[in-house]
Amino acid sequence: MIKIFLLILIVFNFVYGAKVVPVGEKYQSSRSCKSCHMHIVKEWESSWHSKSHYENDEYFRASIDYVSRKTRKSINSVKVQCATCHNPRISVTNTDMDYEIMSVMNLDKGSQVNKALESASIGEGVNCVVCHNIDVIHADKDESFRGMNRVSWTKSGTMTGPYHDATSPYHQAEHRDFMDKNSEQLCFVCHANDTSTEGFTFINMQNEYKKSDASCVECHMGQKKSLYAATLPMKDGKPRKREIRAHGFVGAHTSGMWKNVLNLELSQKGQNILINIANPQPHNIPSGFGARELLVEIVYKNGDKNIVTKTLSLTNQYLSKKGKPTIPHMAASLVKEMSIPARGEKTLEVPKEKGATSAEVKVYYRLVNDEVRSMLDLKEAIWREKSFITSKSLQLK
């Protein structure tokens, strides 16, 4: 009887947040886009945008589970909160205490929240109808507005893109400036300020960003190439070639991308070695999720023989409100900013080892540091792998 009463109370008190524009069934899956945009969809399928979902990304999944355990919120409530950027076409934008009660009492089966989280419209993470259904980017909003809260959507079936003259018999096509001018505005809808459960901003790529001739897409989508954006016959009965960029969205997970992204210089100062690492990129390194790391490996040698190898870690350590180490998404404070700023540099000073006649320094990148990887109990090899950046040797006096 109590369960029935609570269920009736919950039905009348549920608050699901802002109303969203529903995605028509025809446009929910990227499969529908393949018939005209085959190679673009295939590139996207290889991207981490396509993995932006609880089921497809171990780090994302483990972080949600960790936050759920520590905050004692239901996993589904945390999923909805993170969907702001990871699954922005979700039809439920927040949950409340009523849903938490339903979840604890196992009364949430068939609820709007559960249906939204199981919907095909979010199962592919950040897919075609996330970026190409954006009508307006509200860049003037406060930084706390991210993801779905920073945009307005077009009506279902209207796709936005970089071309003024695009047409299609399958959907309406409209041009938007943010698709070809100031494109970083589109990236910063989500890749801006990451804020923890404690309200602490642990990464803000938009503030880090030093605008230059190279925008985000120059590196992460590559140079424009003359290809077919669509295979539909549009000009003289033939497909029309366009200047388009790749849609694989290469980034931190792509090992080969890291080669030579930093500049390394070595010098000797008395009995110490100075290791200068310069960052010519337009954002901090490491950046993105706060647990990322630079490893500086120093191999001391006597002739051809290795004497000893030492490794320094440049990674941010975050503390909970109780002052204990935690993952970035639950941080209340940062011990020390260890990343190399955009267009900036950092110099490390290490002592020369006794008997060493030379030193070789290698710099690597890793997606997750040991501490956070252990907290989240990450198993997949990608989180342990090192990506080579650069190396140099120095003869010692």
What confidence tens digit (pLDDT) does each residue in 50-68 have?
999 999 999 999 999 999 9
Name which of 200, 185, 195 is nearest 81 in CA terms.
195
Three-class secondary structure of residue 345 per DSSP: strand
Strand partners, 237: none
How confident is the model at residue 19, as a pLDDT?
A: 55
Q: What is the dihedral of CA 195, 197, 199, 205, to 10 degrees?
A: -10
Distance CA 126, CA 131 (A): 8
Whether the per-residue pLDDT at 336 is higher than 80: the answer is yes
Whether the per-residue pLDDT at 370 is higher than 70: the answer is yes
CB of 66 closer than 8 Å to CB of 376: yes
How confident is the model at residue 237, as a pLDDT?
A: 79
Ordered by start, the domain boundaries in the chain are: 2-244, 261-395
How confident is the model at residue 179, as a pLDDT?
A: 94
Distance CA 368, CA 374 (A): 10
Distance CA 338, CA 336 (A): 6
- Topology at the third CATH level for domain 261-395: Immunoglobulin-like (2.60.40)
Distance CA 166, CA 16 (A): 36
Name which of 262, 336, 329, 344 is nearest 81 in CA terms.
329
Mean pLDDT for all residues in the chain: 91
How confident is the model at residue 7, as a pLDDT?
A: 44
Whether the per-residue pLDDT at 340 is higher than 50: the answer is yes
CA angle 195, 198, 203 (to 5 degrees): 25
Selected residue with higher pLDDT from 389 and 13: 389
How confident is the model at residue 142, as a pLDDT?
A: 85
Whether the per-residue pLDDT at 3 is higher than 70: the answer is no
Whether the per-residue pLDDT at 20 is higher than 80: the answer is no
pLDDT digits (tens, 9 = 90+) for 61-102: 999 999 999 999 999 999 999 999 999 999 998 888 888 888
Whether the per-residue pLDDT at 11 is higher than 70: the answer is no
Task: Give the pairing of strands 333-334 and 318-319.
Answer: antiparallel
Task: Give the pairing of strands 193-195 and 201-204.
Answer: antiparallel
In this prediction, residues 17-30 reach a mean pLDDT of 80
Distance CA 365, CA 258 (A): 7
Task: State what percent of residues in the chain have pLDDT above 90.
Answer: 74
**16 pLDDT tier (thresholds 50, 70, 90):** very low
How confident is the model at residue 106, as a pLDDT?
A: 82
Local structure of residue 27 (DSSP, 8 states):
G
Distance CA 278, CA 284 (A): 11
How confident is the model at residue 300, as a pLDDT?
A: 97
Name which of 338, 334, 298 is nearest 315 in CA terms.
338
List the beta strands (DSSP E) in the chain: 134-137, 151-153, 158-161, 172-175, 193-195, 201-204, 225-235, 238-244, 263-269, 272-278, 293-302, 305-315, 318-319, 325-326, 333-334, 345-351, 358-366, 387-395
Whether the per-residue pLDDT at 1 is higher than 80: the answer is no
pLDDT digits (tens, 9 = 90+) for 199-232: 999 999 989 998 777 789 999 999 999 999 998 8
pLDDT digits (tens, 9 = 90+) for 219-272: 999 999 999 999 888 767 788 899 999 999 999 999 999 999 999 999 999 999
CA angle 178, 170, 230 (to 5 degrees): 60
Whether the per-residue pLDDT at 143 is higher than 60: the answer is yes
Whether the per-residue pLDDT at 371 is higher than 70: the answer is yes
Three-class secondary structure of residue 333 per DSSP: strand
pLDDT digits (tens, 9 = 90+) for 325-335: 999 999 999 99
CB atoms within 10 A of CB 282: 20
Whether the per-residue pLDDT at 320 is higher than 50: the answer is yes
CB of 160 closer than 8 Å to CB of 174: yes
**289 pLDDT tier (thresholds 50, 70, 90):** confident
Whether the per-residue pLDDT at 349 is higher than 60: the answer is yes
CA angle 360, 283, 279 (to 5 degrees): 25
Three-class secondary structure of residue 82 per DSSP: helix
How confident is the model at residue 357, as a pLDDT?
A: 96
What pTM does this model have? Answer: 0.91
**15 pLDDT tier (thresholds 50, 70, 90):** very low
